[in-house]
Amino acid sequence: MAVHVSQLIQQLEPSATLAMAAKAKELKAAGRTIYDLSVGEPDFATPEHICQAALAAMREGYTHYTEASGIPELKKAVAKQYLTRYGLEYPPDQIVISNGAKHALHNVFTCLLNPGDEMIIPAPYWVSYAELVKLTGAIPVVINAPQSNGFKLTADSLRSAITPKTKGLLLCSPSNPTGTKYSREELQSLADVVLDTDLVVVADEIYDRLVYTSQPFASFPTVRPGLKECTVVVNGVSKTYAMTGWRIGWAIAPNRTFAKAMADLQSQETSNPCSISQYAALAAIEGAQDCVEQMRQEFDRRRRYVASRLQAMPGLSFPEMEGAFYAFVNISQHLGKTYGGVRVDEDPQWCLELLAQKGVASVMGSAFGAPGYVRFSFATSMDNLAAALDALQEFITHAT
């Protein structure tokens, strides 16, 4: 008897960011010089005091199962952090520690959505959002947020997308892939619609500490009274502390019942997050935060350099990069041209030719629900950025 893959999984799209990174590594292994601007992870090493905490945890025997929802100390630290930073008070038993923020999102969607429910997702969106929603049998309703509005959803667009089947709204600010950030006032206008219609909001705030403008980050539950009771906040240590490989994220539930549901689900799927990584994350949150500011400042330096270089190239446009570490660039004026004898009409082919001809790895906007765009990550060294942008400039300059 043949073993067949389920229809649900057959419909699943692979991660475009990881696929591009794999292609770049393949070319690099073949001897090519590759400038990888595709993957969304800090290029810094995890700070030493965090690594030392992991070693200490192993030596002290914290190498066994923990509670499915995470160690109490880490949940308390997350609760204290949100109280200190944003004035949001949550009991630790409303926090579920997971194997990264992506896993936390999976838990949230699985516990929230029924087959046939609709989840509103503004585009451009992170590549995994729609696929994680599909895995529940629910329907991702993608709403285009145009570049002219900073790729941000408006209250009118949100209201017009709501149907009797709509269960919730997904928001990511600062955004992957666009680097834009909702202001408090913009979030308030969306909040008014949410409160009028009883939507559940899933707020992905994984880039909350990587903000470069004078306007502070606003956590969604803080912008209107009543939002805390209808919002699930997702965050983690990956981006803030350069801990992508440690796989620790969390979901903050609006009530204990929903938190228990996520913990029960996780207990069946993974038992618990890595015990050692949890103690490392605890040290990250409770320890000195100088490392966070140092990395943020370096990202800001790179951001300003990338912006100046891209602005000087003809036919490219992009919104201000207010947070995260991405430039989301409109390349539509460079489609329909010939590059090294190859005619390129769509952004996936454009990215592949840029990689093949110039060794610059990026991610096509189509993967984020935005054809005609390309995402470049500036989470790499200044030397790599300079070489990659030189190659990009040569690529588009010699197109015919």
Residue entry with tokens 């454009």: 350
CA 222 to chain centre: 21
Separation between Cα atoms, residue 118 and residue 129, nearest integer Å: 13
Give the C-alpha distances (Å, rounded to integers) separating 320 from 155, 216, 272: 21, 15, 39
Global pTM value: 0.95
Residue 135 scores a pLDDT above 90: yes
Tokens, residue 126 = 């992170």
Indicate whether 69 pLDDT > 90.
Answer: yes
What is the per-residue pLDDT for 62? 98
Q: E strands along the chain, which residues?
A: 35-36, 95-98, 118-123, 139-144, 166-172, 200-204, 231-236, 249-252, 326-330, 337-339, 342-344, 360-361, 363-364, 373-377
Amino acid 27: pLDDT: 85
What pLDDT shows up at residue 19?
A: 73
Higher pLDDT, 19 or 366: 366
Task: Over range 247-276, report the average pLDDT.
Answer: 98
Quick one: pLDDT band at residue 8, thresholds 50, 70, 90?
confident
Residue 20 scores a pLDDT above 80: no
Q: Which amino acid is at 171?
A: L
Residue 131 — left, alpha, or beta (φ > 0 → left; ψ -120 to 50 → alpha)? alpha
As a whole-number percent, the residues of the chain with pLDDT over 70 amount to: 100
Q: Give the DSSP letter string of 152-174.
A: ---HHHHHHH--TTEEEEEEESS
Residue 47 CB partners (closer than 8 Å, separation 6+): 241, 242, 284, 291
At CB < 8 A and 24+ separation, what contacts does 60-64 make?
Answer: 62/275, 62/276, 62/279, 63/275, 63/276, 64/275
Residue 239 confidence (pLDDT) above 80: yes
The yes-or-no verdict on residue 15 having pLDDT over 80 is: no
Four-CA torsion 262, 264, 269, 274, nearest 10 degrees? 80
- For residue 11, the model assigns a pLDDT of 82
Residue appearing with tokens 């570049």: 147
The CA distance from 117 to 234, in Å, is 21
Domains of the chain (ranges, CATH numbers): 7-45+291-397 (3.90.1150.10), 50-286 (3.40.640.10)
| Half-sphere exposure of residue 79: CA atoms within 13 angstroms, side-chain side | 17
**Region 137-163 average pLDDT:** 97
Q: Which residues pair with 119 in a beta bridge?
A: 140, 168
Mean pLDDT of 324-351: 97
Burial level of 311, CB count in 10 A (0-12/13-18/19+)?
A: exposed
Per-residue model confidence (pLDDT) at position 60: 98
At 21 the pLDDT is 75
Q: Could you tell me if residue 155 is left (phi over 0), alpha (psi between -120 and 50 degrees) or otherwise beta?
A: alpha
Distance of CA 59 to the CA centre of its chain: 33
State the pLDDT at residue 25.
82
Decide: 103 and 249 in contact? Cβ < 8 Å: yes
Bond before 124 cis per omega within 30 degrees: yes
237 pLDDT band, cuts 50/70/90, is: very high
Mean pLDDT for the stretch of residues 340-361: 95
- Residue 388 — very low, low, confident or very high, per pLDDT cuts 50/70/90? very high
Nearest to 30 by CA among 352, 354, 387, 359: 359
**How confident is the model over 191-214, as pLDDT tens digits?**
999 999 989 999 999 999 999 999
